[in-house]
């Protein structure tokens, strides 16, 4: 009981401390630019779903995000492990290429095979993200098996404990389940490119799971990245989920239909909010590093 109280008190102290995010500013700026271009692309596509500029931005934005993740690999590897980092980077790259076929020729939107490719690539990317979190979960279990559970992961937020995984089992597992459900939903859409209510329903549930996982880790993330950034990020994820809900209501609406305008709007707002969240983290880091 004494150990539990000590752990709880230390965790509370950890949550209240202010620390500079352990990430290079350039990584944050590249990722923010990626999300901004991704969001801008959706707004370009709203009046014309076959705009080549819009789809080019839809490809370039996610590609920059994948590059940012790769740039962060060396810092992440000691904490979450090489396997998790490789899976996350690979998933981000594959998801980025989901729109490449439309950037090359927007006419592929009119071909079931083209639409299926887009859904499938994004779904595979999400599933690799789920496997990445699964690898993190295994690594955390290995750490706990070799560490006194009454003292792990109790340490100051700003400590140089680069191998500590602060996220709880619940938040990691729920995040992994969310990405897996989300990915399966997109694979179902790939199998039925004309529309699948189940596919969109799974996407709604999966993205909501990811949002809840962020909420479960809210205190630690807020201490490290700032409350405003995390709230903005969670709002972004919730808006994505709402967009999927709109598609679940009318699953047979084609990519070129006016119904997709609402989805593009939700995507655009969500991605711009994520870009704003990353810029808030960068500003916090600059202020704390002075």
Is pLDDT above 80 for 218? no
| 63 vs 38: CA distance, rounded Å | 9
Stretch 151-162: mean pLDDT? 46
- Prediction pTM value: 0.81
Percent of the chain scoring above 70 in pLDDT: 81
In a domain, 219, yes or no: yes
Contact 165, 143 (CB under 8 A): yes
In a domain, 13, yes or no: no
Percent of the chain scoring above 90 in pLDDT: 42
In a domain, 189, yes or no: yes
Is pLDDT above 50 for 169? yes
In a domain, 6, yes or no: no
In a domain, 268, yes or no: yes
Number of domains, the chain? 1
pLDDT tens for 219-247 read 767 777 777 878 888 888 888 888 888 88
Res 188: pLDDT: 95
| 28 vs 182: CA distance, rounded Å | 25
In a domain, 35, yes or no: yes
Give the three-state DSSP class for 81.
Answer: coil
pLDDT tens for 254-266 read 666 777 788 888 8
Is pLDDT above 90 for 158? no
Q: What share of residues in the chain are helix, strand, coil (percent, to 5)?
A: 80, 0, 20
In a domain, 2, yes or no: no
Domain that holds residue 151: 21-283
More confidently predicted of 273 and 162: 273
In a domain, 122, yes or no: yes
CA-nearest of 127, 90, 129, 93 to 202 is 127
């Amino acid at each position: 009981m004494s150990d539990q109280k000590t752990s709880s008190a230390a965790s509370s102290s950890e949550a209240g401390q202010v620390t500079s995010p352990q990430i290079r500013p350039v990584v944050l700026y590249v990722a923010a630019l990626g999300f901004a271009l991704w969001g801008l692309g959706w707004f370009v596509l709203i009046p014309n779903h076959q705009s080549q500029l819009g789809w080019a931005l839809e490809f370039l934005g996610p590609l920059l995000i994948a590059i940012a993740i790769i740039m962060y690999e060396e810092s992440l590897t000691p904490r979450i492990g090489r396997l998790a980092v490789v899976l996350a980077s690979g998933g981000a790259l594959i998801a980025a290429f989901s729109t490449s076929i439309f950037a090359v020729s927007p006419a592929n939107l009119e071909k079931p095979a083209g639409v299926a490719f887009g859904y499938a690539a994004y779904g595979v990317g999400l599933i690799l993200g789920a496997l990445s979190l699964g690898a993190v979960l295994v690594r955390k279990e290995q750490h706990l098996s070799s560490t006194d559970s009454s003292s792990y992961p109790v340490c100051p937020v700003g400590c140089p404990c680069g191998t500590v995984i602060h996220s709880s089992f619940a938040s990691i597992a729920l995040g992994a389940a969310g990405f897996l459900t989300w990915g399966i939903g997109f694979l179902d859409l790939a199998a039925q490119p004309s529309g699948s209510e189940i596919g969109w329903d799974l996407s709604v549930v999966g993205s909501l799971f990811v949002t809840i996982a962020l909420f479960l880790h809210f205190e630690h993330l807020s201490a490290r990245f700032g409350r405003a950034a995390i709230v903005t990020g969670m709002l972004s994820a919730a808006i994505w989920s709402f967009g999927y809900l709109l598609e679940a209501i009318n699953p047979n609406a084609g990519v070129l239909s006016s119904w997709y305008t609402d989805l593009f709007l939700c995507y655009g707002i969500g991605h711009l909010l994520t870009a704003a969240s990353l810029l808030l983290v960068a500003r916090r880091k600059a202020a704390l590093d002075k």
